[in-house]
Structure 1
Amino acid sequence: MSHSSEHDARSPNASSDKGDATPDYADRILKGGSSVFSGSLIAKAVGFALQVVLGRGFGKTLYGLYSYGLSVLRIVRELSTLGLQNGVVRFGAEHNEDGNKAALKGTFLAVGGLGTGAGVLMGVALYLAAPWLAEVALRSTNDPLVFQLFGIALPFYVFTYLGSRMARALGQMRVDVLLDSILQPALFLLFTGIILLLGQGFRMALYAFVASTVLAAGASAYAVYRLFPPLFSSLVPTIDLRTLLRFSLPIVGVSLASMGLARADRIMLGPLAGEEAVGLYTAASKMSVQLRFVLFALTAAFSPVISELYHSGRTDELAQLYADTVRWIALGTLPLAVVLIVFAPDIMALFGTEFREGALLLRLLAGAYIVVAGSGSVGHMLQMSDHQDFAFWVNASMAVLNVGLNWILIQWYGVVGAAIATGAAHILGNVFQLWGLYHFTHIQPFRWTLWKPLAAAGASGTVAWVLFAQLASLSRWLIGIPVALLVYGGVLLALGLSPRDQAIADDLWAELRTRLDA
C-alpha cells in the first residue's frame, strides 16, 4: 500500500514536469525555426533573384547547362561529405549540450578534415572526367568547362556546407542558413550581375561561381572559429571516430539516394532531351521546391530535439512535437501551394516568356512536394532515432525507381515525363518512410486538427481558379494572388486555431511586442 501511495503522490509532479517540458521544446523549435525562417526568407530571395538573372540573362540552353553542372556538383558533394553533415549535428549537438569541449573540438576537426580531404580527391576526379561527361551528357554544347570549374570549386563547396552544419550543432541557426543558403549565392549573384552589366558572357559567370565558392569557404572557417574559439586553441581534442563514421557513412547512401530522387530527372534530361529541356525543368523545379521552405526551417530546429527526446526515452513528447511541426508546416505551406498550382503560367514567365510553357511541370511537381512537406521531418525522425539504415533502403529503392521511371517516361513524354516520374518517386518514398517510422517507433504525425488548414486551402484554391480563368495576366498578380491568400487566412481565422497553437501564437505575439517596444 505504501508503495502504491508513494507512486500516486509522485505521479502529478511527474506529469507536470512532462507537461512543462513540452512547451519548452515547442518554444525552442519555433524560435529556432523562426531564426531559420527569417534567414531563409533572405536565402530564398537571393536564390530566386539568381535563378531569374541566370534564366533571363543566358536563356534556356545555357541556364540548363549551368543547372546540369550544378546537379552533378551537388551529387559529388554528397559523396565527398561522407555523411558527416549529419554526424556533426548528431554528436556535436550532444557534446555541446553536455559541455564537452574536447569531444566537440575533436568532432569538428574530424568532420572538417575528412570532408575537405574527400572533397579534394573527388574534385580532381570530376576535373579529369569533365571531357567524358560533356561528351555523354551535353547534347547541345558539349563543353567540359562547366565540369572542370565545378571540380575546382568542389573542396570549397564541401567545406562551406560542413561549416554550416557545425553552426547548426552549436544551435546557431542563423549562421547555418547564412553559410548554407545565402552567402555563396549572394556573391555569385553580385558577380553575375556585374558580368552582365559589362557585357561578358556565360564563361565568365562560371569563373564567378568558383570565386564566390572560395570566398564563402573562407567566411565559413572564420564563422566556426568565432562560434567555437577552442577549435584553434591548445585544448586536446577527443574523438570516437569509429562511432562518428558508423553513424555517418550509411547516411552517404541516404544522401545519394535523396539526391537521386532530387537530381535524377535533370541528370537524365541532359542526354535524353538536351540542355534546353533541363533549363525549362529546372525553373519549374526551383519554384515547386519552395513548398519545402517551412519544412526546412522547422526541421533545422527540430533535428537536435529529436535526438535528445528519443534517446532519453521521451517518445510521447517527441510524437506530439512531430505532429505539431507537421501542422505548422501545413499552415505555412498550403497557401503557397495554391498560388503555385493555380497561377503556374504567370509564375514561370518570371524566368522569361519562353519559360511559360513549363506551367504543367510546375503543377505536377508542386503536387508532389505537398506530400513531401505534409510528411514533415520523417527522414530526420528515422535518422535521429537510429533507423538511418531503413531510411537509406527506402531512399535507395526510390532513387532506383526514379531512374527507371525517368528513363522510360522521358522517352515517352519528354520533359513532362521527368516531372511525373520524380513526383511519383517522391510520394512513394515519403509514404514508405512514414510507414517505417510508425513500425519502429509507433509515431505518426497526423491529427484531426489538420482539417482546418486543408479546408482553408480548398476554399482558397476554388476562389483562385475562378479568378485565374476570369482575369488577365497582370490582374492576376494585382488581384488574383492577394485575394487567394486573403481567403485562406480568412477561412483559417473563422475556423479558429487549436488551443495549443493559439497559446503558442499568443506567446510569440507577446515576444514580438516586447521586442518592438524595447
Structure 2
Amino acid sequence: MSMTTAAEKIRNFIVGGSALRRHLVRAAAGSLALSLSSKMLMLLTSVLLARWLGAEGYGYYVSSMAVLTLLSIFATIGFPTLVIRLFSSYRAHQKWGLMRGLLERSNQLILVVSIALGGAGAVIISAMSENLAPSYTNCLWWAMAMLPLVALGAIRSALLRGLHFVVLGQLSENLLTPGLFVLFISAWAGLTLSSSLALTPEAAMASRFAAVAISFLVGAWLLVKRLPEEIRSSEPRYEIKEWTRSALPLLFIVGIGIIGSQVNMLMLSGLQSAESAGIYQIATRGGELVAFSLVVVNMAIQPTISKLYSLGEVKKLQRVLTIAARGTLALAVPLAVIMGFFAEPILGTVFGPEFKRGALSLTILCVAQVIAAASGSVGQILYMTGHERDASIGVFVGFAVNITSSLILIPLWDIAGAATASALSIVSCNLVLAFLVRKRTGLNSTAF
C-alpha cells in the first residue's frame, strides 16, 4: 500500500463515515490533546515541586491534595457521573425540563455539601494542629478553602460533557488549572532568587488555590455560553427520588475508588514518613502516564455509551467499545515498556537522586495499568448503562484488596509494598468489572 493510499484511508476514517464516528474521533482527538497537555504539565509540576520542596515538603503538599481529593468526591455526592449519563439520555429524548432541573439541583446540593464538609474539616484541623507539622497544617487550610471550587468545577465539567462538549468539559481542569499552577509556582520560585521569600508547601497550595479559582470562573463562563436555549426556556422538572437512588451508589463507587487510589499515600505518610509518601506519589505519576490512554477514551465515549444503550443500538456500541479498548492498549504498552525498564534513571535524572528508590514501585504500577487498559472502559460501561450497583461490587473488591494488602505490605516493603497493594487492587477490580459488564449487558469490554 502506498503512503498516499494509507493517508487517504486515514483521512476518510476521520472525516468520512457516520456522524457518530466523526463525533467520536473529534472527541477522542481533543481529549487526547488535552490529556497529553495535562499530563505533561502535571509532570512538570511534580518535577519542579519535588526539586524545590524536597521529598518531605513535597510529601506535605501531596498529602494535603489527597485529602482535598477525598473530600471533593463526597462533596459532589455522586452527581457528576450521573449528570453525564442522564444529560445524554435526556437530550436524546428532548427532556429539556428535566435537564434544567438536574442542572439546578445538582449545583445547589453540591454547594451546600462542600461548604459543610469544608467547615467540618476546618474544625478538625484546628483540633489536630498541635500534633501536625505547621507546614502540613497550613496546607490543609488551603485544601479546605479550595473544596467548594473543586466540587462545583466537577459538576460543571460533567454538565458540559453530558451536552457532548467533551473537550470543553475538560478544558479548565486538564489545561488551564495545571498551566496556571506551573506559571504561579515558577513565579514564586523566581522571587526566592531576589528576596527572602521561599517556595514552601503552603505557598504551593496557595498557588494551586489561585489557579483553581481562575479556572473555575472560565469554566462557568463556558457552560453559560454553551447551554442550549431549550434548557434556558424550559420550566425545571425534578425527579429527586430517582436521582438520589442513582447518585448514592455512584457516590459509593467513586468514593471507594478515590479512597483506594489515595489510601496508599496516606498510609505511607502515617505508617512510614512524608518522604515515602512524596516518593510514592512520583511513582504513581509515572503509572498515570501509562493509564492516560484509558482516561482519554473514557472521557470521549461516556456520553456515547449512554446514548447508544438508551436507543438500543447494542451492535454499534460493541464496535465502539472494541475499537476503543484496542486503541487504549496500543498506546499503553509502549509507554509501560519505557517507564518500566528505565524507571530508575528516569526518576533519578528528572526528580533527583532521593526519588530513585521509587523505581520498583513505578515498574509494578506500569504492569497493572497495562492490564487495566486491556480490560477496557469497564466502569464507564456499567455507570452509563444504569448498572452502577453492579459496578460497586467490583470497586469494593478492589478497595478491600487494597486496604488489606496495604496494611500487610507497607510495613514490610515501604513504597514497593504500597505499589504492590495498588497493583493487586487495580487488577482484581478490572477483572470483576469486565465479568459484570458481560453478564449484565452482554457486551465485551476488553481488547480481545
Query: What TM-score do the two structures reach when normalised by structure 2?
Result: 0.90
* Secondary structure at the counterpart of residue 136 of structure 2: coil
Structure 2 counterpart of 1:409, which letter?
Answer: L
Distance 1:229 1:380 in 2: 25
Correspondence list, 1:247-286, <5 A = 247-286=246-285
Q: Which deviations, in whole Å up to 9, do the C-alpha atoms of 1:154-181 show, x marking residues without a partner?
A: 0011111111111111111221121222
Partner residue in 2 for 1:312: 311
Q: Is the 8 A contact 1:93 1:169 kept in 2?
A: yes
Structure 1 counterpart of 2:199, which letter?
Answer: G
Partner residue in 1 for 2:87: 92
1:310 deviation in Å? 1.9
Structure 2 counterpart of 1:175, which letter?
Answer: L
1:96 deviation in Å? 3.0
Question: Mind listing any 5+ residue stretches in structure 2 that lack a counterpart?
Answer: 1-15, 193-197
Distance 1:231 1:399 in 2: 42
Q: Which has the larger radius of gyration?
A: 1
Correspondence list, 1:232-251, <5 A = 235-251=234-250
1:103 deviation in Å? 2.6
Partner residue in 2 for 1:67: 62
Distance 1:125 1:331 in 2: 45
More displaced stretch, 45-54 vs 213-222:
213-222
Distance 1:132 1:362 in 2: 36
1:300 deviation in Å? 1.2
Partner residue in 1 for 2:421: 421
Distance 2:17 2:371 in 1: 27
1:303 deviation in Å? 1.1
1:308 deviation in Å? 1.8
Structure 1 pair 331/309, CA: closer, same or farther in 2 (3 Å)? same
Which of 27, 30, 35 is matched with 1:40 structurally? 35
Partner residue in 2 for 1:207: 206
Partner residue in 1 for 2:152: 159
Partner residue in 1 for 2:117: 122
Distance 1:188 1:213 in 2: 8
Distance 2:327 2:403 in 1: 33
Task: Determine whether 1:404 maps to 2:397.
Answer: no
1:201 deviation in Å? 2.6
Distance 2:388 2:296 in 1: 21
* Secondary structure at the counterpart of residue 293 of structure 1: helix
Task: Determine whether 1:385 maps to 2:385.
Answer: yes
Question: Mind listing any 5+ residue stretches in structure 1 that lack a counterpart?
Answer: 1-20, 449-518
More displaced stretch, 281-290 vs 313-322:
313-322
1:145 deviation in Å? 1.4
Distance 2:128 2:262 in 1: 16
Structure 1 pair 134/73, CA: closer, same or farther in 2 (3 Å)? farther
Distance 2:171 2:50 in 1: 24
Please tell me the root mean square deviation across aligned C-alpha atoms, in Å.
2.1
Structure 1 counterpart of 2:402, which letter?
Answer: N
Correspondence list, 1:181-220, <5 A = 181-199=174-192, 200-202=198-200, 203-220=202-219
Structure 1 pair 399/339, CA: closer, same or farther in 2 (3 Å)? same
Partner residue in 1 for 2:363: 363
* Secondary structure at the counterpart of residue 422 of structure 1: helix
Q: Is the 8 A contact 2:97 2:231 kept in 1?
A: no
Give the paired residue count. Answer: 426
Task: Determine whether 1:143 maps to 2:136.
Answer: yes
* RCO comparison, higher one (Cα < 8 Å, 6+): 2
Partner residue in 1 for 2:74: 79
Q: Which deviations, in whole Å up to 9, do the C-alpha atoms of 1:94-147 show, x marking residues without a partner?
A: 2333444333222211111111221111111111112456677x6x76732111
Structure 1 pair 447/377, CA: closer, same or farther in 2 (3 Å)? closer
Q: Is the 8 A contact 1:135 1:142 kept in 2?
A: no
Partner residue in 2 for 1:470: none
Q: Is the 8 A contact 1:266 1:281 kept in 2?
A: yes
Distance 1:205 1:371 in 2: 34
Q: Is the 8 A contact 2:401 2:424 kept in 1?
A: no
Q: Is the 8 A contact 1:80 1:119 kept in 2?
A: yes
Structure 1 counterpart of 2:370, which letter?
Answer: I
Structure 2 counterpart of 1:84, which letter?
Answer: F
Partner residue in 1 for 2:372: 372
Distance 1:321 1:229 in 2: 27
Structure 2 counterpart of 1:247, which letter?
Answer: S
Structure 1 pair 417/212, CA: closer, same or farther in 2 (3 Å)? same
Q: Is the 8 A contact 1:134 1:142 kept in 2?
A: no
Query: What TM-score do the two structures reach when normalised by structure 1?
Result: 0.78
Which of 49, 69, 92 is matched with 2:44 structurally? 49
Task: Determine whether 1:430 maps to 2:430.
Answer: yes
Distance 1:146 1:361 in 2: 26
Q: Is the 8 A contact 1:29 1:298 kept in 2?
A: no
More displaced stretch, 401-410 vs 142-151:
142-151
Q: Is the 8 A contact 2:72 2:151 kept in 1?
A: yes
Partner residue in 2 for 1:301: 300
Structure 2 counterpart of 1:189, which letter?
Answer: V
Structure 1 counterpart of 2:157, which letter?
Answer: S
1:445 deviation in Å? 3.4
Distance 2:17 2:268 in 1: 47
Correspondence list, 1:491-506, <5 A = none
Structure 1 pair 319/232, CA: closer, same or farther in 2 (3 Å)? closer
Q: Is the 8 A contact 2:438 2:445 kept in 1?
A: no
1:299 deviation in Å? 1.1
Q: Is the 8 A contact 1:277 1:415 kept in 2?
A: yes
Task: Determine whether 1:179 maps to 2:172.
Answer: yes
Partner residue in 1 for 2:3: none
Partner residue in 2 for 1:30: 25
Partner residue in 2 for 1:107: 102
Q: 4+ residue runs of structure 1 moved beyond 4 angstroms?
A: 21-24, 131-136, 229-235
Partner residue in 2 for 1:223: 222
* Secondary structure at the counterpart of residue 236 of structure 1: coil
Structure 1 pair 291/193, CA: closer, same or farther in 2 (3 Å)? same
Distance 2:58 2:280 in 1: 11
1:194 deviation in Å? 1.0
